[in-house]
Homo-oligomer: A and B are copies of this chain.
Amino acid sequence: MAGSRKPARAEEPNRRADIVRAASRLFAAKGYAATTIRDIAKAVDMQSGSPFYHFKTKHDMLRAVALEGMETIARAVGAAAAQGGTPREVFDRMLLAHLEQLLGEDGRCFAATLLHEGRHLDPEALAELVVQRNRYEALWQEALKQLKRAGEIADDSPVARLFLLGALNWTVQWYRPDGGRSVKQIARQLSTLLLKPKL
């Protein structure tokens, strides 16, 4: 509508990445099925047929968004886990990393798409994603195991991991950056809720 021509920062326009980013925003806001190719094209100032020069199908755009979302989170939390320290320090760093990717400016639309639109992926793309997700969740299982060994948490079972990830992933539904609560605060509150008092 309001002529939103991009600043076009010289060099490598990388229109493919533009499409993926626009798609992530639209998929997150309206859902995959309700987003049209024309929506995406308009968001990057293209004609309606042009996105197909970069992607074979609409489904391929969804796959690109979902995979990028998963990879980004796994990379950030993996790095946090690899830094070492007490089980509690590791866990707190992982919480913060996960929430920063989920709620941060750049990542939130990728994460929301990943978490909500997975059912529109074909079996092959879904399987690919599940492999990565299992690897990712194993990081958390290990972190819980260390916490339990240190006597800092009441339960380190797979169900506990699912509850933890549920509490984290659900933040996408309610967290608003302008709501006065920082991501760091939120991460700390979850730590407080789950771990034994620090004394």
Question: Which A residues form the contact surface with B (CB < 8 A)?
Answer: 29-34, 116, 119-120, 153-155, 157, 159-160, 162-171, 173-174, 181, 186, 189-190, 192-194, 197
Contact = CB atoms under 8 A, between A and B. Distances in A.
Given A34-B33, A167-B164, A154 B192 contact: yes
A75 B140 CA distance: 35
Given A155-B192, A194-B194, 8 more contacts: A155-B189, A157-B189, A160-B189, A160-B193, A163-B190, A164-B167, A166-B167, A167-B170
Contact of A168 (B166, B173, B190, B194): B166
A84 to B, nearest CB: 26
Given A34-B33, A155-B193, A171 B181 contact: no
B171 A170 contact: no
Nearest to A194: B193
| Ranked 9 nearest A-B pairs via Cβ | A166-B170, A33-B33, A33-B34, A163-B167, A166-B167, A167-B167, A155-B193, A159-B189, A166-B166
A119 B172 CA distance: 13
A9 to B, nearest CB: 33
B193 A154 contact: yes
B170 A189 contact: no
Contacts of A153: 193
A174 B163 CA distance: 10
A31 B189 contact: no
A194 B196 CA distance: 10
Contacts of A167: 163-164, 166-167, 170
B181 A159 contact: yes
A31 B162 contact: no
A182 B147 CA distance: 26
A165 B174 CA distance: 11
